Amino acid sequence: MNLNFELLKTMCAIHAPSGNEVAMKEFLLDYIKKEKKNWKHKVKVYEGKQFQDCIVLVFGKPRAAIFAHIDSIGYTVRYGKQLVKIGGPVFDNGIKLVGEDSQGKAEVTLKIEKDKKHHFEKPTYVYKRDLETGTELTYKPNWREDKNYVQCCYMDNRLGVFNALKVAETLKDGVIVFSCWEEHGGGSVSYIQKFLQEKYNVSQALISDITWITEGVKAGHGVAISMRDSLVPRRSYINKIITIAKNFDVKYQLEVEGSGGSDAKELQMAEYPWDWCFIGAPEDFVHSPDEKVHKQDIENMIVLYQILMKEL
């Protein structure tokens, strides 16, 4: 597989923190409109007021759905130079953040201050003026690519979106969901799950997201199939996916964690019974401006998703 990562590079630079995913939604709608004529099968696009800033793509007679969140972590300007985290970003002195208020675009520098009274660190920013309250700041993109790796902010989860778009090129029967708010508590998957269950009788999900490199999950060793994180999916469904990966000789590794979560949280807690499995390429420097992923793991992720959407 000879992947071109220009699309991923473009998406990593789009400002779309949780709660303000409009720019990513509009980019995706424009991309889908232009590219769907090149896809092998016809797609029905659901978007609009009923779906807020989410997008649902339906192909043929779907049996399973891919969920890929389009939001990112970041910061909200409070008062003065104070910042409030969106999700769980890494914060360290010197990190460059970008945003825009009514006075124009701004590039600021993150500064960590010690709260001596309450004994904790708090993020602030350095800039020539105070930004307007409510302004959102995200990491300044710095794309790096070599023979083996791609590296930039927001691989989580623009890479999950990239994977879903590559699957869309050949998908015959299935659903692709581009969801919102995942990095800051969720909120969109429950109503989309209900829509898909009631209209299409779909109750199987694959979570197209990015996981962590750990002592048991290595870069270049294949896509990670998560057996559990803070929640425990139904084991029979996970076993089915592992068996398919084995039978088709896809390079993969198994992940077991006791923390972390994804769009799967809302699926497991929602009204209808759904099976789900988190499958994603592992990255280093998680939730930082320097998220780094091995190209072979990306290729294996795409291949496995293509197979699973046929076999499930």
Per-domain residue ranges of the chain: 6-72+143-311, 74-139
Give me the CATH code for the 6-72+143-311 domain, please: 3.40.630.10
pLDDT the model gives residue 118: 67
> Is residue 161 scored above 80 in pLDDT?
yes
What average pLDDT does the structure give for the chain? 96
Q: What does each C-alpha distance from 118 to 77, 110, 115, 122, 216 come to in angstroms?
A: 21, 20, 6, 10, 37
pLDDT band at 80 (very low <50, low <70, confident <90, very high): confident
> What does the angle CA 38 – CA 206 – CA 281 come to, to the nearest 5 degrees?
85
The pLDDT of 200-225, averaged and rounded, is 97
| CATH superfamily of domain region 74-139 | Peptidase M42, domain 2 (2.40.30.40)
Query: For residue 121, what pLDDT is reported?
Result: 87
Task: Using the predicted structure, report yes or no on whether residue 114 has a pLDDT greater than 90.
Answer: no
Q: Can you tell me the mean pLDDT for 161-165?
A: 98
pLDDT-derived band at 237, boundaries 50, 70, 90: very high
pLDDT at 117 over 80: no
Model pLDDT for residues 4-44, shown as the tens digit of each residue: 999 999 999 999 999 999 999 999 999 999 999 999 999 99
Question: Residue 102 in contact with residue 63, Cβ under 8 Å?
Answer: no
Q: Is the pTM of this model over 0.85?
A: yes
Distance CA 123, CA 89 (A): 11
pLDDT score recorded for residue 139: 98
What does the alpha-carbon distance between residue 140 and residue 188 come to, in Å, rounded to a whole number?
27
Res 1 pLDDT > 90: no
Percentage with pLDDT > 90 across the chain: 93
β 52-59/43-48 pair status: antiparallel
Instruction: Give mean pLDDT, residues 132-137.
Output: 98
271 has pLDDT over 90: no
